[in-house]
Every structure is written in structure tokens, then in C-alpha cells.
Amino acid sequence: MSKQNDTLNPIERRQKKKKTRKVIMWILLSVLILIVALAIAAGVAVGVMYNKGKVSMSNEEIKVTAPEGVELIDDGAEVHYKGKKYNFNKNLTSILIMGVDKENIEDIGAEGYNGQADALFLLVADTATGEVDLISISRDSMVNVDVYTPDGTYITNRRMQLCLSYAYGKDEEASALNVMKSLSELMYGIPINSYFTMDIAAVRMLTDKVGGVTVPEYTSDYSKPTGRQITLWGKDAEKYIRKRDSLQLDSNLDRMERQKAFISAFVSKVVELTKQNIKTPIDLYNSLNGYIYTDIGLDEVTYMAANFMGGVADMDTYSIAGEVVKGEKYAEYEVDTAALYELVLEVFYTEVT
């Protein structure tokens, strides 16, 4: 398995940084690497962009928390846990990937009606080793959420499902940052460097664009796998990653497994197509305008591409352990905080022997 700033923490730094409206696709790391590789081959100067991207995507200083009994040194740069010593891996950068349940990512409504972050993944990349970890996060994870009015005025902080933190933002940026804040707090203050948000219409478009995606087949009610494979197109792909039985308390856990399977299959399809046609990444990139929103710009892509030019060395997937319970109205996912902390150590830290 993979192992896992200035004075402002990464989220605060993001709020200071001017955001680009020309969004860049990052969900397919290999695709972005190829895009920048083409730019480099065309003679684009990348030195300045690389350095800016490094500042944005690195975590030279951190400030984290820990469960009772854990000793933190230098704000968590070094951790003593159960008789072992761990050092924070400063070569890591993390991107929060969100699938939002709304047709148009720029269609922001009133307080609490801005859509929900239905699918949540934290992608953690090691720029030194080329290893990538993908952490699947339940949308129903109970977290502390900052609640705002439509004009961005802070109201209060409430405990609710993580997916709802996206709803309380005056625009795409504010919504995404609100999710980042809640998730980072849940994960003991671990820094999250960037976000990538995609609406559901993009899934249909991208699936058709690559000529369908082959995934494990499930029964018509999506309750269990059949043991066969099926190739999905358009709306069937949307159903595959969204459908769940709301009457079943733990149905979102099954949906998360399908989402992971779909992402893995989609990445494999893109890599296959790129081997046949080097222009595939550019075609996909051009088709995404209007479907996604992110704070990842060319500086960040250049930095990542330079460090992953040889490709991804290895990818491991994780899920955050916990228990589904019945809330007042909806399912709630109570995270196993002890298991979560050990996951944080495994992904973001290196054991010192």
C-alpha cells in the first residue's frame, strides 16, 4: 500500500489566491500530464509556472490536531503514536474531487439550495515517488458545517452531513471551500490544496466522448453485482454512479463502490485511447468547458506534470471506516475517528524506523 507555507493554512491561502475561470481537468492525472507535455514540446516557458504551482500545491508548514494521547511536535510535522514516530510527508499534495447533483455547476441558488456534493474523493499525490492514493468519503459523514446566507454572511456552525456543506455558498468557489474546510477539520486538520468540482451532466458527456465505459454489472435495482461486465453510455452511466435505494440506510456505501469502479474504468479507457491518439487529452479538455469548476490553473498543472512526467507509479484506494445510523430524517455516517486517524498516518505520514 502507498504511504501516505507560508503562515496561512492551505484553505486560507486559497481564499487569498485569485481563481481562474478557465477550468482545468485534473481528475485524470495522466491526461493533464500529456496536455502539459505537449505544451512543453511546443516551446512554452514553464519555469515561472512551475515555481508558482509548487508554492500553491506544497505544504511546507502544517498545523494539525490529533486524538487524545497522541504527541504532536512542530504542529504535527512529527507525531508519536503507540510507541512509533511518524514524519509528515511534505512531498504530498491533495485535491478534493466533488461530483455535484445539479445540471449546471454555475447555477447557484439561495441558501441551502446550491446543490449537494454527492460524490467525494480525496486524491493524494506524492510528487517524489509518483504514487497516488484515492480516499473515498461518504457524503453522509457527519461534520461541522459553516452556514451562510446567500450573500455570504456567516450565520452559525452546525453538525450535519458533509454533502450539505456545498449548499451553503454564494458561488462555486465558496461552496467548494466550505466542503474543504469541513473535510479538513474531520481529518484532523490535514491540508487540502485544491478542489475540482464536476456536475452530473459531465459524466454523461465524457462517457459518450470516450466511446462508453465498461464496468461491473449490477442488478436492475443496483443492490448487488451480477458477476458480469457491462458497457455504459450517457444516462446509464449517470444512473450507475447516482442510483441508490433511499429506503436502505446503507445504500450510499454500495453507490460509493460503483463510483470507484467507474472512475477506475474511465481512467483506463482514457489511457487506452491516448495511446491510439495523442490528441485525446486535448479533445477531452476542450469538451469540459462549462461542466467543471476548479481552482487548479496552468501553474498547478505544470508543477504536477513535471513531477509525474513518468506517469503514476502506483494507485491505492481507501475508504473511511464508520457506521451508518438513522438520523432524525436521513442516514448519517458516524466516522470511526480512531480508524480515520490511522488512515491519516498511513497516507500522509512516513513511519520513522
- pTM for the whole thing? 0.76
**pLDDT recorded at residue 14:** 43
Does residue 216 fall inside a structural domain? no
**pLDDT recorded at residue 2:** 37
Angle, alpha carbons 166-173-175 (nearest 5°)? 10
Per-residue pLDDT tens for 186-221?
A: 999 999 999 988 877 788 888 999 999 999 998 887
Residue 35 belongs to domain spanning: 10-199+293-347
Per-residue pLDDT tens for 215-254?
A: 999 888 777 889 999 999 988 988 888 777 665 666 667 7
Q: 330 pLDDT exceeds 90? A: no
Residue 248 CB-density burial (10 A; 0-12 exposed, 13-18 middle, 19+ buried): middle
SS3 100: strand
Does residue 287 fall inside a structural domain? no
Does residue 220 fall inside a structural domain? no
The rounded distance, in Å, linking the Cα atoms of 132 and 172 is 26
What CATH number did the domain enclosing 85 receive?
Answer: 3.30.420.590
- Return the closest-CA partner of residue 26 out of 18, 16, 35: 35
**pLDDT recorded at residue 252:** 67
Q: 35 pLDDT exceeds 80? A: no
Tell me the pLDDT band of 88, cut-offs 50, 70 and 90.
very high
Does residue 1 fall inside a structural domain? no
Q: Is residue 33 within 8 Å of residue 305, measured between CB atoms? A: yes
Does residue 236 fall inside a structural domain? no
Q: Count of domains in the chain?
A: 1
- Return the closest-CA partner of residue 146 out of 128, 124, 126, 162: 162
Per-residue pLDDT tens for 89-135?
A: 999 999 998 888 765 555 555 555 567 888 888 989 898 888 888 89
| Phi, psi values for residue 73, rounded to 5° | -120, 135
Does residue 14 fall inside a structural domain? yes
Q: Provide CB contacts within 8 A for 141, sequence distance 6+.
A: 161, 162, 186, 320, 322, 333, 335
Does residue 334 fall inside a structural domain? yes
Does residue 271 fall inside a structural domain? no
